Amino acid sequence: MCLTTEAFALFLNLIGAAVTTHDGPTVTIHATQGDVTWHAVVDDWCTAAPYAESPLPFMVAADKQPFTMR
């Protein structure tokens, strides 16, 4: 699943910063059912949860440039 940057920022504001950690282009949400990792992919934020333990193949092509929240 992917969200636009604006939608992802709204989602993060709704759940609160206490359950998240971030490292560059990766945000981890510490959910009750386990950690969910979101990755910056060009202009979107994508996750493979709950369908896979590892990132989907499309994430291999992810832009490796640092991401900054605006």
Domain residue ranges in the chain: 2-47
Q: Quick one: pLDDT at residue 50? A: 66
pLDDT for position 49: 77
* pLDDT tens per residue, range 20-37: 998 989 999 998 878 899
Q: What is the pLDDT of residue 53?
A: 54
Say whether pLDDT at 38 is over 60. yes
Residue 45: the pLDDT is 94
Distance CA 42, CA 59 (A): 10
Q: What pTM does this model have? A: 0.67
Q: Are 14 and 7 in contact (CB under 8 A)?
A: no
